Structure 1
């Protein structure tokens, strides 16, 4: 007997439940229309973004070579952090190697054992893991339930408290009541952390996010996290807030202190994408308009961001539906438990600002044809 024999049993159980996963391997010559990525503005392959990454690669090499506190911070990191902070209306920003690490680092640095976190049930896994690693008490409330947040904070008894939510939920693109959550948090003496990963470049004035849309940019006791891997088309995560928050994270956030700094090419590419967004503030409108058209053509609910969610229920059917679409040249997301609740497996289609009407019509034709096949 091997100590790891149970792995085969667990794999077989996942297979029976329709929960086995194989990574989809993309090739540069593949003729696939990709609506599974989070490249909302279609900038990941934009020549200007590629040139920004190439220039950074030439100037600083392929890697940052060390943690940010040793020699892993380049002038590119500082310039990008300052520019993104200015764009979103915050005093300062700090780059991490991924959005996951940004959320884990921010939460675990702001609260600890004996403190209280009130977390939205729709929170991304990175927020959930940040809550767990903080060792604070965690109270989970229903998605967007402001009254439940208020009730949980009322029992905080003077403890340090943090409210945690996504601004745009990653699975279905719904928008959290950020303004109401901030009002409750402030009234109860708590801070609010908002993950804007799926909102940057999609919602708010010029794509600055839901916080900016709510008129709360730079507000006290408010922390924004976001990513460079979606609308900005590259890689990395950022925490934005006050200058004292930035200083605190540099000194205490383990994912910042002990991780190799984000590679310069990712930073250079993301900064180029941010410049494009600044100079073309209509990009967020185009991605939302395309999402609305996809929803109309595919029978989805009216989207509030870039995501269209088509629920089929059974995970085997969801996998089959996505596979048939892929074989027909359209790549769509397939989300199953634990990413979504049991019984709500779905296709997740993400719009891009650079899609034209003919591409959306092609997507709709493929999705609708194969829906009939898997649900017959």
Structure 2
């Protein structure tokens, strides 16, 4: 007899509970920069992606409010019906100008954008070669496109080359995160660009965690690698991380962007972002472009954290981005440390499988330009206290990629 779905769901939930992999949402009552009120208590957050501190910046919020008063709360239709607003157009042009590419195309989220790119360019007979630690949306995109998915060892250009050589001559895409969201390291984009050119593959970079933070004027990992649209025809930019807003854009080659606009199902068959949200993003982009001090402050905060962690005996993964993971090993260990930190007034997320590999659970500490030196030092002291309180080898070298700062 076919198993009932509710029985299957109950068994799956019981298994997740036994493995300490259940998820519980926490409701934030109020935010004030890096401070968050949760369950009646104020915590200092070190788990946000608001790297430049723009989510509550007054010019960004004012742009949102002013546009909402004029244009309303919704996008009202898809971009290709009547939902494309002048503010959307202005945001796309600002992004393209900032990143030095011919065109940009807005999407409701980075997840939707990645689905759109892979599905629009690859079909059943094609191949998508990806880094093993790519974001889940890139993996899902290849599976939904029906193409062959081949994965290479993390940050291994030779592995990518072997995978491309192993498939027949057909349409091929080489896809990688720019900054890897759980490890915080940067992809070897220059080497991957050479491989893509030699193997006649399109190189696509999901730079969700790079744009706004890395490279000249914060233009991301592609600009940091001194590459342009010829080498990287398309890249993803999210508006909800360093830019503090919501949504995403794919930027790059004009013909490829036109192809997306005309064929990508996640673009055609969904409502446009509200114009007010686009207005907030536009204000954030302008601030990110001109206020270099935000990146300088962020770099200083990251260095302070890494130096302080090493002085306190912690071993860190090889990341100089705002994402600073501390490996814990097992799920229960990561959860215990997160609870101990919360008891000291800090909110740091425990990341567990399937988001990360088995045995690689971690605390994902993220740094913002809003964090003060006092915030950083207090977190470091709390980490040292938590290590002693929990009584395990927190932050030890749990795999070969862990290094001293």
TM-score normalised by structure 2 residue count: 0.90
> Which residue matches 1:78?
89
SS of residue in 2 equivalent to 1:44: coil
> Which residue matches 2:204?
193
Is 1:324 the counterpart of 2:345? The answer is no
Output aligned runs, 1:315-354, within 5 Å: 315-354=331-370
Q: Point out 4+ residue stretches in structure 1 off by more than 4 angstroms.
A: none
Structure 2 residue corresponding to 1:21, chosen from 11, 20, 23: 23
The 8 Å contact of residues 193 and 231 in structure 2, kept in 1 or not, is answered as no
In 1, distance between residues paired with 2:144 and 2:196?
22
In 2, distance between residues paired with 1:73 and 1:63?
12
User: 1:61 Cα deviation (Å)?
Assistant: 0.7
Structure 1 residue corresponding to 2:121, chosen from 99, 110, 121: 110
User: 1:80 Cα deviation (Å)?
Assistant: 0.6
> Which residue matches 2:396?
none
Is 1:176 the counterpart of 2:178? The answer is no
Output aligned runs, 1:1-376, within 5 Å: 3-28=5-30, 30=37, 31-220=42-231, 222-298=233-309, 299=314, 300-301=316-317, 303-376=319-392
In 2, distance between residues paired with 1:285 and 1:218?
27
C-alpha change, 1:278 and 1:3, in structure 2 (3 Å) is closer
The 8 Å contact of residues 297 and 364 in structure 1, kept in 2 or not, is answered as yes
In 2, distance between residues paired with 1:352 and 1:342?
28
Gaps of 5+ in 1: none
Gaps of 5+ in 2: 32-36, 393-405
* CA displacement, residues 75-118 of structure 1 (integer Å, 9 cap, x when unaligned): 11111111111111111010100011011111111111101111
The alignment yields a C-alpha RMSD, in angstroms, of 1.5
C-alpha change, 1:54 and 1:75, in structure 2 (3 Å) is same
In 2, distance between residues paired with 1:290 and 1:248?
41
User: 1:372 Cα deviation (Å)?
Assistant: 2.0
In 2, distance between residues paired with 1:75 and 1:32?
39
User: 1:311 Cα deviation (Å)?
Assistant: 0.7
In 2, distance between residues paired with 1:174 and 1:374?
28
In 2, distance between residues paired with 1:285 and 1:222?
29
In 2, distance between residues paired with 1:229 and 1:147?
33
SS of residue in 2 equivalent to 1:193: strand
C-alpha change, 1:3 and 1:155, in structure 2 (3 Å) is closer
Count of residues in Structure 1 that have an aligned counterpart in Structure 2:
376
SS of residue in 2 equivalent to 1:140: strand
